[in-house]
C-alpha cells in the first residue's frame, strides 16, 4: 500500500522540471520587439499580396469565353429545333388519331421549342456580339 501512496503523493513540488536560467528573459523580448514589428509590417505585406493581381488587370483574354458562348448558342439552336420538332410530331400523331385534347401539350411543347430556338439563341448571340444567321 505504501508503494501506491508514493506514486500518488500530493507533494508535486519535487516533480517540477528545472527551467534554464535565461528562459524567462525570452518572453519579454518576444512581446516587446517581435510582435510590434509584425503588427507594423502586416498592412504592407497585405498590400504586396494583392499588388500582383492589380498588375494583371487588362491582360485577361476572353476569346475562350466567346468560343464557349458560341457553343451554347449552337446548343440552343439545336435543342430548340429538336424540342419544337418533337412537340409537332407528338401533336400531329394525337391529332391524326382524333384526340385533339391530348394534342394541346404537344403544341405547347412546339411553342416552347420555338421560344428556345428564337429567343434563347438570340439572347446568347447578343452577349457575344454576334447575330443569328
**Angstrom distances, CA of residue 110 to CA of 75, 81, 83:** 17, 9, 6
C-alpha cell of 22? 535565461
Distance (Å, rounded) from C-alpha 112 to C-alpha 3? 90
Around Cβ 35, how many Cβ atoms within 10 Å?
Answer: 10
Domain boundaries, the chain: 15-55, 63-128
From first to last of its 133 residues, what are the pLDDT tens digits of the chain? 555 555 555 555 555 556 666 555 556 666 677 778 888 888 888 888 877 766 656 666 667 778 888 888 888 888 888 989 999 999 999 999 988 888 999 899 899 988 888 888 888 878 777 655 5
Chain segment 64-83, per-residue pLDDT in tens: 778 888 888 888 888 888 98
What is the model's pLDDT at position 89? 92
Amino acid at each position: 500500500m505504501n508503494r501506491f501512496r508514493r506514486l500518488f503523493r500530493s507533494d508535486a513540488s519535487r516533480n517540477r522540471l528545472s527551467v534554464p536560467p535565461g528562459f524567462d528573459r525570452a518572453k519579454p523580448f518576444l512581446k516587446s520587439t517581435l510582435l510590434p514589428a509584425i503588427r507594423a509590417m502586416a498592412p504592407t505585406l497585405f498590400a504586396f499580396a494583392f499588388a500582383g493581381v492589380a498588375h494583371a488587370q487588362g491582360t485577361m483574354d476572353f476569346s475562350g469565353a466567346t468560343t464557349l458562348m458560341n457553343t451554347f448558342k449552337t446548343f440552343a439552336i439545336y435543342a430548340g429545333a429538336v424540342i419544337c420538332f418533337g412537340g409537332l410530331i407528338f401533336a400531329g400523331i394525337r391529332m391524326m388519331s382524333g384526340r385533339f385534347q391530348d394534342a394541346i401539350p404537344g403544341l405547347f411543347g412546339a411553342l416552347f421549342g420555338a421560344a428556345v430556338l428564337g429567343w434563347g439563341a438570340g439572347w446568347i448571340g447578343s452577349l457575344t456580339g454576334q447575330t443569328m444567321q
